Amino acid sequence: MGAVHGVYLKYVGLSALSLAGYTYMVGSGEGGDSGEQSMMFSHRMLALATSQIPMWRLASAAILGYSAILNGAIATMFQLKRGMSLVGKNRKTGQIPLWSYILYFPFHGPTYFYTYVHTKFGTHKVTSDGGETKRQTVPVASEVQPGWWVGGCYANELDRDWAGIIDLTVEFPERCIGRTESYLLIPTWDGVPADPAQLEEAATFAANARKRGDVIVHCAHGRGRSTTVMCAALVRAGLFQTWEEAFEKGIKPGRSVCKLNAKMRRALTEWQRDYVDAKKQI
């Protein structure tokens, strides 16, 4: 699954797998008509109620059932662009409270695991000056223009100080909060862009911070959400006239894994129309 397109399907799949595991733990039947299936469901509920299932299976079933419900709900929120404050991430410090990890562990655990593996072992094709193509590990962040960086949630591995950080993640704590002069959190689900008003807020923040030093915009993988904001930031800073130009000429050459899905392109087009082109006509 890519880090830009159809991201919510990860959580649909996780919900489905959890439901399958729950069904197995409480005892699965062999099909039959609707009457038989109804009786089997009743027997499962009765078994749960009378503790006929071993405790380890009962506990596993409870966890898997909760995971199915939680991740199914999160997949729905992805599509509706709702619930970005669900995990309780602090807007000033970028930290996620302990209660969130405990309460939402079926979401946090798989998300951390997937992102860690994707970051540490994900590769992309690189073509040398001699025309030779080889695969290399994707950098945790890339300087796409002098002083302008696009990256993922492990950008702290660069061990740098920043004039400004824009954090687009709902799901990860900010690891560079002690290394930046200013911090802006715009929480968005993976694969879901900031809206035009948020893009303008972020672009203005970035342009102002860049006057004092380097700026990094990051999401989970440094591919979609962060790229969307960086397009707007480069236009607002006067480096490019349009977001399309900023993307193709200002970002892609420096970080080839950057991609924009249809929602991201639509948000940028609306931002360009309302906050750039409209002001030129005044």
Q: Is position 133 within any domain?
A: no
Question: DSSP letter at 50?
Answer: T
Q: Is position 205 within any domain?
A: yes
Residue 130: what pLDDT?
73
Q: Which of 126, 153, 129 is nearest to 218 (CA)?
A: 153
Give the whole-angstrom CA distance, residue 153 versus residue 177: 12
Residue 32: what pLDDT?
47
Q: Could you tell me where the DSSP H helices lie in the chain?
A: 8-26, 34-49, 55-80, 98-103, 105-121, 196-210, 225-236, 243-245, 262-271, 278-280
- On whether the CB atoms of residues 74 and 18 are closer than 8 A, the answer is no
What's the domain range around 62? 8-80
The CA-atom distances, in angstroms, between 41 and each of 49, 65, 67, 104 are: 12, 14, 20, 27
Note the pLDDT tens digit of each residue in 185-231. Answer: 999 999 999 999 999 999 999 999 999 999 999 999 999 999 999 99
CATH code (residue 236): 3.90.190.10
Q: Answer with the one of 59, 80, 101 that is the final residue of a domain.
A: 80
Q: Is position 124 within any domain?
A: no
- pLDDT greater than 90 at residue 17: yes
Q: What is the mean pLDDT of residues 85-103?
A: 97
Q: Answer with the one of 37, 60, 80 that is the final residue of a domain.
A: 80
Confidence of residue 239 (pLDDT cuts 50, 70, 90): very high
- pLDDT greater than 70 at residue 2: no
Q: How many domains does the chain have?
A: 2
Q: Are residues 69 and 143 in the same domain?
A: no
- pLDDT greater than 90 at residue 7: no
Q: What is the mean pLDDT of residues 70-78?
A: 95
Confidence of residue 52 (pLDDT cuts 50, 70, 90): low
% the chain with pLDDT above 90: 73
The string of DSSP codes covering 112-159 is HHHHHHHHHH-EEEEE-TTS-EEEEEPPSEEEEETTEEEE-TTGGGG-
Confidence of residue 55 (pLDDT cuts 50, 70, 90): confident
Q: What is the mean pLDDT of residues 156-166?
A: 98
Residue 150: what pLDDT?
99
